[in-house]
Structure 1
Amino acid sequence: MEYILEEKKRIQLFFFKKFRDFGVDAFFTTRIGGFSTGPYTSLNLALHVGDSRDLVIKNRELLTSIWDLEINSFIVAEQVHGNNIALVDYSDGGRGMKDLSSALKKTDGLITREKNLGLLTFYADCVPLYFLSPTPFIIGVAHAGWRGTLQEIGGKMVTNFVALGAKLENILCGIGPAIGPCCYEVGDDVAQSFSNRGFKNGVIRKDGKNFLNLWEINSEILIKTGIRPQNIELINLCTSCNKDLFFSYRRDFGVTGRMAAGIIKKEVLDENFSSG
Structure 2
Amino acid sequence: MKLKLLTPALLLMLCTSCLNLSLHAIGAYKTKAEPAAYTNNKKTIVFIPMRHIGLKEFYNDVHRLTDSLHNQGYIVFYESVKLRDSFTDEQKKIMNLKLRKMLGVHVDTIGYLDTVNNRLMGRRFRNRKGLINQPHYRLMGADMTKDRVEDVPVNELIAEYESRYGEIMLNPCDYNLRPDEKYECGKEPNDKVNAIIKGYREESLAKAIMEEKNDKIAVVFGALHEWGLYNKLHTLDSTWVRVINKHN
TM-score in terms of structure 1 length: 0.25
- Greater strand content: 1
